[in-house]
């Protein structure tokens, strides 16, 4: 059973070179389903994900998980927009996070085989990961994150620059993860994808939360001028 790993931010601010790039942010996130972080370029979406994942230093404010900090860290995974591959085989990339967890070889082998089949790379297990196509690398990065069975998965534009077939496969994997109990917090510029997947939306503009709502409420009746303009495809300034 997945743990309840809800998170709260209170007056969180991130400054770079004296300039506020995010905040102040006060936010309580649901502990299940898809939370989509939307907004124009430069709104602070990636910075917010990194704050939540604990890899972005905050200037002020606080963040609190519903579980001890180490438990929260152990239960998280993060997939970047540009997949980061170990300079090893596909199999080694999948096995690495399980080795860090100290799992036995039989369990590692079983999970690696299962995920290689799931992402269509069972015939490429011993190929160098860097020889894969962009879509294959992104699926491998996603499988490497999910193979640990995280409670919370952070995704930063995971389908950017991928073709329709790869996007469809990745979305299906994400749906399966949510059905299994994972919480997914994800940025995307693809409004069609956001409509297909989102349960909850956080809309950022100029580093602040302009709107937070259920997906149905956000897409059917946005409550802010910026969100309305964004959904209409207008330039948001």
What pTM did the predictor assign?
A: 0.92
Buried b (16+ CB within 10 A) or exposed e, 91-106: bbbbbebbeeeebeee
pLDDT tens digits for range 179-221: 999 999 999 999 999 999 999 999 999 999 999 999 999 999 9
- Do the domain assignments include residue 156? no
Q: Which of 119, 118, 96, 125 is nearest to 108 (CA)?
A: 96
> For residue 42, how far is the Cα from the chain centroid?
18
Residue 112: pLDDT above 50?
Answer: yes
Task: Provide the sign of the torsion angle of the four alpha carbons 28, 43, 227, 178, taken in this order.
Answer: negative
Domain that holds residue 221: 7-74+178-231
Domain count of the fold of the chain: 1
When computed from its CA atoms, the radius of gyration of the chain, rounded to whole angstroms, is 18
Lookup: tokens for 191: 């409004």
**β 7-16/60-65 pair status:** antiparallel
CA distance 47 to 39: 12
- Do the domain assignments include residue 121? no
Lowest model confidence (mean pLDDT) among 30-34, 87-91, 218-222, 223-227: 30-34
- Do the domain assignments include residue 64? yes
CA distance 111 to 117: 10
- Do the domain assignments include residue 98? no
Determine the longest span between alpha carbons in the chain, in angstroms: 55
Helix (H, G, I), strand (E, B) or coil at 30: coil
CA distance 143 to 99: 15
Q: What is the CATH number of the domain that holds 13?
A: 3.40.50.300
Res 178: pLDDT: 94
Contacts by 108-115, CB closer than 8 A, 24 or more apart: 111/147, 112/147, 115/143, 115/146, 115/147
Res 2: pLDDT: 60
CA distance 143 to 176: 12
- Do the domain assignments include residue 182? yes
Contacts of 49 (CB under 8 A, 6+ apart): 37, 78, 154, 156, 185, 187
Residue 94: pLDDT above 90?
Answer: yes
- Do the domain assignments include residue 200? yes
Give residue 1's pLDDT band: very low, low, confident or very high (50, 70, 90): very low
Residue 110: pLDDT above 50?
Answer: yes
Contact 53, 154 (CB under 8 A): yes
- Do the domain assignments include residue 211? yes
Contacts of 223 (CB under 8 A, 6+ apart): 211, 213, 217
């Amino acid at each position: 059973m997945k743990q309840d790993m809800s998170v709260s931010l209170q007056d969180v601010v991130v400054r770079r070179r004296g300039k506020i790039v995010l905040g102040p942010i006060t936010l309580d996130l649901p502990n299940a389903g898809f939370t989509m972080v939307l907004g124009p370029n430069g709104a602070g979406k990636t910075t917010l994900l990194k704050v939540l994942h604990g890899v972005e230093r905050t200037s002020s404010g606080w963040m609190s998980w519903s579980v001890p900090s180490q438990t929260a860290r152990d239960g998280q995974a993060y997939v970047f927009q540009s997949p980061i591959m170990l300079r090893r085989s596909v199999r080694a990339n999948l096995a690495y996070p399980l080795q860090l967890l100290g799992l036995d070889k039989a369990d590692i082998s079983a999970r690696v085989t299962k995920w290689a089949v799931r992402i269509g790379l069972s015939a490429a297990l011993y190929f160098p990961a860097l020889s894969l196509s962009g879509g294959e690398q992104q699926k491998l990065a996603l499988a490497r994150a999910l193979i640990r069975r995280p409670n919370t998965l952070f995704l930063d534009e995971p389908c950017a620059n991928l073709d329709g077939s790869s996007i469809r496969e990745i979305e299906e994997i994400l749906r399966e993860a949510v059905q299994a109990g994972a919480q997914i917090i994800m940025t995307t510029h693809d409004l069609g994808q956001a409509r297909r997947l989102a349960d909850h939306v956080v809309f950022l503009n100029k580093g602040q939360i302009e709107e937070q709502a259920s997906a149905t409420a956000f897409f059917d009746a946005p409550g802010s001028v910026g969100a309305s303009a964004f959904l209409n495809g207008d330039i948001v300034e």
